[in-house]
């Protein structure tokens, strides 16, 4: 599926402004797609890497990669958030053609709010207590309630740390393992010594960004041959 500006919400304009509009938005979208979808880099790291690659200052980025759940309104798209699963269960629903589909529902919280969520896929293995970093979700309103939806186009990263980022402060020594899934399809990535910091730490983000930048440069070189 071809990515477009709406897939990354305000982050495209945020990068463009950080680069003083020297890079067109279509190129920014393509580079974000390469980092996030092809190389599994989280959105915050991808934004910093793109700005750095084009000789900008990542400190000028304004839009946060993750939205507090309390700030999410009904009928929004391209939502990125980081939160912990409180509960989750599977259920079967009847489709218009008479067939059945398995979905997953539950509650997710980040300290600012607790919201209900639905995963519209046949497979979802995350359990209560799991912390998820989600990109490109969407919300729906039901009476006075806001529900989050994780559809086919969202991307989910499972993080083995608390959402407050306390792992940075205490300098944990154990290896971190991230499991990335496009709402169901799991890929495991074992992180090396340089990434032993909390995944949200600047050092870990920089190392992942540099590896992705090198991969992008190699791909660009192959295309020019």
Domains for the chain: give ranges and CATH numbers.
Answer: 5-64+201-224 (no CATH), 69-187 (2.40.50.140)
Residue 220 phi/psi, 5° resolution? -65, -40
Q: What is the DSSP letter of 111?
A: S
Predicted model pTM: 0.57
Residue percentage of the chain with pLDDT more than 90: 41
- Measured CA to CA, the distance from residue 145 to residue 67 in angstroms comes to 17
- For residue 138, is pLDDT > 60? yes
Taking only the tens place, the pLDDT of each residue in 18-46 is 999 999 999 999 999 888 878 877 778 88
**What confidence score (pLDDT) does residue 37 get?**
77
pLDDT band at 215 (very low <50, low <70, confident <90, very high): low
pLDDT band at 187 (very low <50, low <70, confident <90, very high): very low
CB atoms within 10 A of CB 29: 20
Q: What is the mean pLDDT of residues 158-174?
A: 45
């Amino acid at each position: 599926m071809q990515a477009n500006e709406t897939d990354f919400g305000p982050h495209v304009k945020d990068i463009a402004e950080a680069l003083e509009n020297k890079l067109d938005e279509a190129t920014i979208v393509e580079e974000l797609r390469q980092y996030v979808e092809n190389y599994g880099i989280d959105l915050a790291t991808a934004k910093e890497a793109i700005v750095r690659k084009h000789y900008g200052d990542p400190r000028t980025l304004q839009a946060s990669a993750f939205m507090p759940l309390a700030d999410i309104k009904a009928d929004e798209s391209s939502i990125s958030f980081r939160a912990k699963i409180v509960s989750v269960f599977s259920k079967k629903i009847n489709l218009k053609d008479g067939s059945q589909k398995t979905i997953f529902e539950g509650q997710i919280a980040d300290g600012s709010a607790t919201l209900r969520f639905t995963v519209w896929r046949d497979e979802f293995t995350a359990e209560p207590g799991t912390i998820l970093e989600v990109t490109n979700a969407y919300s729906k309103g039901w009476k006075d309630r806001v529900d989050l939806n994780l559809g086919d186009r969202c991307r989910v990263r499972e993080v083995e740390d608390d959402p407050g980022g306390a792992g940075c402060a205490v300098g944990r020594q154990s290896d971190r393992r991230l499991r990335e899934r496009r709402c169901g399809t799991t890929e495991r990535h074992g992180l090396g010594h340089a990434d032993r910091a909390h995944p949200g730490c600047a050092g870990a983000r920089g190392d992942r960004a540099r590896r992705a930048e090198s991969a992008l440069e190699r791909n660009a070189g192959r295309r020019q041959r």
